[in-house]
Amino acid sequence: MSIRLVVLLRHSLLPASLLALAACAPAPIYKPTPATVAVAPNMVTQSPDRYANADVIWGGRIVEVRNLPDRSEVEIVGYPLDSSQRPKVDNNGGWGRFIAVMPGYVESFDYPTGALITLAGRITGDRPGHVGQADYVFPLVSVAQSHVWTASELQAGRSNVSFGVGVGVGIR
């Protein structure tokens, strides 16, 4: 094979294979509404009135489930979402904490501590509380839909192919 053909194949196959890998990524699970805002939980705590009744699509890691007589509250450390709305926990630090308010009883077995979750809902206010012994203000989100991610869903559409540059030694 000529060098020219090898170079041509290398330059045409690499972009095509990267495009094919990107096409495998799952679609987002929730569609934004006209009232959906792209804001992090820690930004809402700084200006709660500005975001009152705004719709959000947030995700993160479950910290705790609290079942109350008429609702359940799920405390979540928020993280940015990828293009498929999966929480990106490999990011440096979280986005702040928030409380997802769900009607009725939520089985903690279905929302285990440490699991990743994505939800769609509406900001309904905030509440002072504590993280450890530190004071904290939690945005409250009335949940319309939620999804707890399984390990296989988190890996779906992610390539285990990596590209790199290296040096090799051959012995003749």
CB–CB of 73/106 below 8 Å? no
Task: Give residue 73's identity as a one-letter amino acid code.
Answer: E
User: Where are the domains positioned within the chain?
Assistant: 41-154
This prediction's pTM: 0.76
Place of tokens 């959906």: 36
More confident: 120 or 33: 120
CATH topology assigned to domain 41-154: OB fold (Dihydrolipoamide Acetyltransferase, E2P) (2.40.50)
pLDDT in tens, 140-158: 999 999 999 999 998 876 5
What is the Cα–Cα distance from 51 to 3, expressed in whole angstroms? 59
CB–CB of 100/78 below 8 Å? no
For the cut 90, the answer to whether the pLDDT of residue 83 exceeds it is: yes
List Cβ neighbours of 109 (8 Å cut-off, separation of 6 or more).
none
CB–CB of 122/55 below 8 Å? yes
> pLDDT grade, residue 9 (50/70/90)?
very low
